[in-house]
Amino acid sequence: MDKADDPLAQLDDYDGELPLIATNRTRWFGGQAIDTGRLDRLSAASRSDHVEVVDIELETARGMEWVLDEFRDNGVDCIVSHHTFEDTPEREVLDAIFTQCGEYGDIAKVATFPRKHTDVLRLLRSINVATKTGIDVAGISMGRVGSHSRAIAPIYGSKLGYAPLADDESDYAPGQIPLERLRTLINDLTEDSEIQCAAAPVEDQPEQRQPAEH
């Protein structure tokens, strides 16, 4: 909403087929909204028939938990999200962020920035750990280094991804993968196996002993 000229009127006029996720970010969270009235406008959006989910920041949820009740009274689910734009928190901190987002939200969304490749692995691990505890997770390792996380996070349990509809590079952040390419990647990566839901221990799924790689 913070990037639209007149978001509530535009919501009224929306005639697309897809349901919407509403966000209204302040500058602090990478957006452009001013604080005053921000949550009121987001709450108004949550009353739109087109909006099925509202995304609110963990910090906001923590300080103003009442707003989640208001969203839910309006019949939408809540994504509680956390972004770190400069780095990827350490393992224990990451796990705690997922847990807290999951306590407040229906979906725990965590987006981190990798400074090196192993930072991507740390996020994937936390996605997997949180998923196994029963949290519905969306996890993204941002930027170019983390780009492949968008295609493989579903394998680790991530249930929600973000992809631009068009191939217009100006429209998306570094690392984002256009929708059709992402769809193909995820399908191809999981073609031989249904996505092995991370909640089901793999130990229970015996696999035939296989020959050596040659």
List residues binding its own copies (CB under 8 A): 21, 23, 25, 29-31, 55, 83, 85, 109, 111, 113-118, 121, 124-125, 128-129, 140, 142-145, 147-148, 151-152, 155-157, 162, 173-175, 181, 184-185, 188-193, 196, 198, 201-203, 207-214
Strands laid side by side in the 107-112 sheet: 20-22, 51-57, 77-84, 107-112, 137-141
Residue number, 8 or 152, with CB nearest to its own copies: 152
Please identify which of the residues 50, 82, 109, 159 carries the catalytic annotation: 109
Least Å from the CB of residue 182 to its own copies: 9
The closest of 148, 157, 159 to 185, measured between CA atoms, is 148
Residue 139 beta carbon to its own copies: minimum distance, rounded to whole angstroms:
11
CB of 193 to its own copies, least distance (A): 4
Active site residue 116: no
H/E segment holding residue 83: strand 77-84
Contact 81, 55 (CB under 8 A): yes
Taking the CA atoms of 198, 199, 203 and 205 in sequence, report the sign of the dihedral they define.
negative
Of how many residues is the chain composed? 214
* 34/66 with CB nearer its own copies: 34
* Active-site pick, 83, 132, 148, 159: 83
Query: Radius of gyration (Cα) for the chain, nearest Å?
Result: 18
With respect to its own copies, which residue has the nearer C-beta, 16 or 66? 16
Between 166 and 173, name the residue whose CB sits nearer to its own copies: 173
Cross-strand pairs, 137: 108
Query: For residues 23 and 138, what is the distance between their CA atoms, to the nearest angstrom?
Result: 15
CB of 40 to its own copies, least distance (A): 20
Active site residues: 83, 109
